[in-house]
Amino acid sequence: MSVRVLVVDDHPVVRGGVVGWLAAQPDIEVVGEAGDGLAALAAVAEHAPDVVLMDLRMPRMDGVTATGRIVAAHPGVRVLVLTTYDTDADIVRAVEAGATGYLLKDTPLPQLADAVRAAARGETVLAPPVAAKLVSRMRAPGVEAPTARELQVLGGVARGLTNAEIGRELFIGEATVKTHLLRVFTKLGVDDRTRAVLVAVERGLLPGPGSAG
């Protein structure tokens, strides 16, 4: 039985090349393509693919947001990220959103076809540089773990306090509050206050809304 694939990328030339190669495989059927995350959601609902090859940075809706929505609405669909970006924050966000794998666009086409087949079987597929980064993060948990003080600052953010209000509450300067927040962003692989709070709650570092205490 053929693996049904949806290809999502905002660059028509890249998308066409990937579609052409995959369609030439006897055991892979390209059932559709999309140029952004919103179009991808509609295409998944329409075509019911086994695997979605997902670009990350696209107009209207990025690949991480689309991945999260696809995985939530269609648990049987595997999302395989295919991107030029291999920064820690991008990797972590994609994996947390539910991506089955993470490949870079310099992946040789035969390996890409193999990765699609593996993803369809439910296997995790990671480009070697990506795997190395994830392993190094796991081996150095101290790099990722926020300190008690950093979590106090982030807790203030979660309660809707400004940097100045957090500083007054903790008897530290506003500049120190900003420094703590920047360190938390780096450790959690995020780039804004809202996302930092969400990730901290997801990881059990902060109590969720409505939790006691």
129: enclosing H helix or E strand: helix 128-139
Q: What is the pLDDT of residue 192?
A: 84
Section 30-48 average pLDDT: 96
Report pLDDT digits (tens) over 89-147.
Answer: 778 788 888 888 899 888 888 999 999 999 998 888 888 777 777 666 655 555 567 88
Residue 74: name the closest of 1, 124, 123, 6 by CA. Answer: 6
Report pLDDT digits (tens) over 171-188.
Answer: 999 889 988 998 888 888
Kindly write down the DSSP assignment for every residue of 26-87, as one continuous string. TTEEEEEEESSHHHHHHHHHHH--SEEEE-SS-SSS-HHHHHHHHHHH-TT-EEEEEES---
Contacts of 169 (CB under 8 A, 6+ apart): 156, 161
3-state secondary structure of 168: helix
Q: What is the pLDDT of residue 212?
A: 45
Q: What is the pLDDT of residue 210?
A: 58
Statement: residue 213 has pLDDT above 80: no
Report pLDDT digits (tens) over 47-103.
Answer: 999 999 999 989 889 999 999 999 989 989 999 999 887 777 778 788 888 888 899
Label residue 202 by pLDDT band (50, 70, 90).
Answer: confident
